[in-house]
Amino acid sequence: MTDTPDLADSPPEEHVAPPAPDDADGTPEAGDDDALDPDPGPDEAAERRKEQDEREEDDRGYDDLSRVHQLVNNNFYGVVDASGAAFGFGAASSPGLAPGTIEPAETDRALRFYVPPRPRFDEALGKLREDALVVLTGQDNCGRGAGSLALLRKILGEEAELRSLSPANALAELAASRDLKPGQGYVILDYAGELHVEAVQAYDVRRLSEELRRKGSYLVITAGDTTRRRLALRDHCVPWQAPDPVELFEHCMGKLPYAALPPDTEKELLERVGEQRRPADVVAAAVALSGQGAEAALDTLRDRHRERVQEWFRKQPSADDLLALAALVFLEGIPERTLEKECASLAAYVRNWEQSGETPVAEPDGSAGTPLPGTVADQSRARWRERAVELVTTEYRPAPSRDAGRSERRLVFTSPRVRELVVAELHALYGYGLWYPLRQWLSELALTGDLETRTEVARGVALLARYALVEVDEYLLKVWSEGITSQRVTAALTLGFMCDAEHLAPQAYNIVLGWVDNSGPGRAVTAAMALTGRLGSLYRLQALNLLSFLTQRGERIAFSARRALVLLLQTAERDPERVLFTLRFVRTVIAGAAPGSRERSIALRTTVQLLEATRLETPEPVTAALLRTVPGSARHLGSLWADVLHSSNRGRAVTALCRTLVQLRDDPSVTGAVGELGDAMREAMSRRQWDALCHHLSIALKHPDYAIPGTRRLAQVLLGSLRGR
């Protein structure tokens, strides 16, 4: 006798459709939409129409995000040279930036050329030994992150287990936690502070220090200079500094293959090295010298891009040249015709501002400005050859769509670094007279621009945030985050692109935390959108926890959070570790919810949306792609399907299962994964539930959409995987 009926034995039925959603016991779970009043009053009907309109708007926003994430994935996983790049999910991050365990190999790589800065290293080491807690403060890119790892290794040894914590709220949580592990090294890199100012007090820090000492564990925090003004941490701060650049360079060369140099070249090289302030630049020069020779090392140190950009601004460009370059910062790579239109729009904003009687825009450092020309005869396109020599070039690129045959001329910077340097110079040289109309213009683009335009606006604003984070947050992100869909998508994309700069990633995460914390439904929806991108990739557990929390909020916010979780899974498809992490998290949420509770019903609704999701690029179910490409996913998917099948979402779950089998029917390589899926489902279900699944699946597979040769055979593999057991 077998556990599974043979699907081939079922009699044929005409006009069979997949079963309608119902509960195993015939009663809906708490929180289901079916429980809504079928005959609402006029006020309630108007409210429902409003909610439906908002949901459709949010849906369009997620469609935009899906298209952007699809392009990011294709760029990263396609045949492009990504060396040194930092975009989308491909951005490489330093050890410890993402919360979680820091593998010894990662620490080895980070400390390969490390030279401790004296006497700061010794001072910090003394504080750490005495208090088990130290805060390294200082400018970005001065080596604080590597210093934190070096300090912990010095105390705990080469093989010590190190763990990175979230940059926001982690200190408050750690101070109140009883889960500190003995002999553990903790780091909080780029500490962003607490969501509430009063979250950490001096006595909390003292208690944390005592608990760390008692368990033989240590905590190193890195933060900006402002942390020294926080009373709770003031006594634990050590101002950090970069090591001597020449000493670091010589140390690197001692670990790299020898490179002989003529005396004059060596002298120039050491002079250039002595001018560097970033340890990473010194290491890059040493590596270039060892691998490519002296000229490559000098090119690395000379930073020709910076010299060209600074020279261009020293010539005090005319207003039309200045505004054209400023516009390109935020609209690089869009079609030239669109750029021309938006340049004219920016010029109009500036003209209106200047006519108000304020200082002209093209007036760096108080020098005289040049009025904007308005002649039609101006050969504006030809002027780019003279306007920004060696800074801007033209390329013919296809539109970001599947029609690769229709390319257009587009203006781009000669390198990504030039774009960043232009932003830096604009911020350093020009004041309110430029940035007020520029912010107005950017807000108009975020409101009315197409998706390609708004994506480039987000990239440019993220670059600006490296130099003016407070202004970006106050004047742009806060406004956009509670605006209409186009603005909220632009804000979400900006936060994702901000994560390409490691010191901004914690700040972006902290901004999202603020939007989640009772800042209104608009900002909560924007926060959910932001967590689908680089933030969700970098702060995996934190993003999943926040989205899970948002699914418990009002229906609009909950709907957005569920869509965000689906998009997280879609974008993680090519990263098996992220896929398994996400599926494990959802399983844990379901397991922790009480049977019949609202929390469990919400978790199951989220799960069925994950099982129904399609890939970003094609209408193929994500579940089919995961079973084909991610080893171990079948066990998690089987458990999730078993949970959903025993709920009011059973009909949708059966339909999703049928669609998955149809997609995999012609791929013999997945037979084993499908059998593993069946094993996992059977182990999580009772005999009665298993028989019900066999019955409903047998009926559903007779529907014309699923009655395709090969599907029934694969279903037999799924259901017959435990025959005779």
What pLDDT digit, counting tens, does each position of 335-373 carry?
988 998 999 999 999 988 888 765 555 444 443 334 444
Instruction: Show the CA angle centred on residue 305, arms to residues 304 and 307, nearest 5°.
Output: 65
Measured between alpha carbons, how far is 612 from 431 in angstroms, rounded to an integer? 51
User: Coil, strand or helix: which one is 498?
Assistant: helix
Give the bridge partners for 409, in sequence order: 396
Instruction: Give pLDDT, residue 274.
Output: 84
Strands (DSSP E) along 191-286, which ranges? 218-223, 237-239
Query: pLDDT digits over 250-259, tens only?
Result: 888 888 887 7
What is the predicted pLDDT for the residue at 503?
A: 86
Query: Hey, is 192 helix, strand or coil?
Result: coil
Please tell me the least confidently modeled range out of 374-388, 543-557, 666-680: 374-388
User: What does the alpha-carbon distance between residue 98 and residue 380 come to, in Å, rounded to a whole number?
Assistant: 46
Return the higher-pLDDT residue of 265 and 495: 495
Give me 490's structure tokens: 């632009």
The helix or strand, by DSSP H or E, that contains position 410, with its residue range, turns out to be strand 407-413
Ranges 42-56, 365-379, 471-485: which has the least confidence? 365-379
pLDDT the model gives residue 241: 86
Residues 6+ apart with CB under 8 A from 666: 710
- Alpha-carbon span 223 to 510, nearest angstrom: 14
Residue 548: C-alpha distances to residues 495, 521, 563 (Å): 20, 15, 11
Query: Residue 8: what pLDDT?
Result: 41
pLDDT (mean) for 508-522: 90
Instruction: Report the SS3 class of residue 554.
Output: coil
Banded pLDDT at 231 (limits 50, 70, 90): low
**Does position 405 have pLDDT exceeding 80, yes or no?**
no
505 Cβ contact list (under 8 Å, min separation 6): 93, 97, 167, 190, 498, 499, 534, 535, 538
Q: What are 64-101's pLDDT values in tens digits?
A: 888 888 876 554 333 333 333 332 333 346 776 778 88
Mutual angle of helices 521-530 and 505-516, in 10-degree steps: 150
The residue-averaged pLDDT of 430-453 equals: 93
Cβ atoms of residues 191 and 223 within 8 Å: yes
pLDDT of residue 26: 36
Average pLDDT, the chain: 81
The residue among 436, 328, 316 whose CA lies nearest residue 369 is 316
- Does the pLDDT of residue 22 top 60, yes or no? no
pLDDT band at 377 (very low <50, low <70, confident <90, very high): very low
- Parallel/antiparallel/unpaired status of strands 185-188 and 162-164: parallel
Residues in contact with 468: Cβ distance below 8 Å, sequence separation at least 6, in sequence order: 427
**Distances from the Cα of 158 to the Cα of 107, 539, 577, 655, 718, angstroms:** 9, 26, 26, 53, 48
pLDDT tens figures, 203-224: 778 888 888 888 888 999 988 7
Calculated CA dihedral for residues 118, 119, 123, 128, nearest 10 degrees: 10
3-state class (DSSP) for residue 221:
strand
Cα distance between residue 413 and residue 459, in whole Å: 13
pLDDT in tens, 96-137: 677 888 888 888 888 888 888 888 899 999 999 999 999 998
pLDDT class for 268, splitting at 50, 70, 90?
confident
Which neighbouring-strand residues pair with 168? 193
Instruction: Evaluate if residue 425 carries a pLDDT over 90.
Output: yes
What's the pLDDT score for residue 698? Answer: 86
Angle (CA) 290-293-295 rounded to 5° is 135
pLDDT over 70 percentage in the chain:
82
| DSSP for 371-388, written as a single string | PPP--TT--HHHHHHHHT
| Proportion of the chain above pLDDT 90, given as a percent | 34
pLDDT band at 587 (very low <50, low <70, confident <90, very high): very high
Angle between helices 294-302 and 304-314 (to 10 degrees): 40
Checking if the pLDDT of 12 tops 70, the result is no
The alpha-helical segments, DSSP class H, found in 32-163 are: 42-77, 104-110, 120-131, 144-156
Answer whether residue 34 shows pLDDT above 80.
Answer: no
pLDDT tens digit sequence for 631-679: 999 999 999 999 998 888 888 999 999 999 999 988 888 889 999 999 9
The pTM of this model reads: 0.81
In this prediction, residue 198 carries a pLDDT of 52
Phi/psi of residue 616, nearest 5 degrees: -65, -40
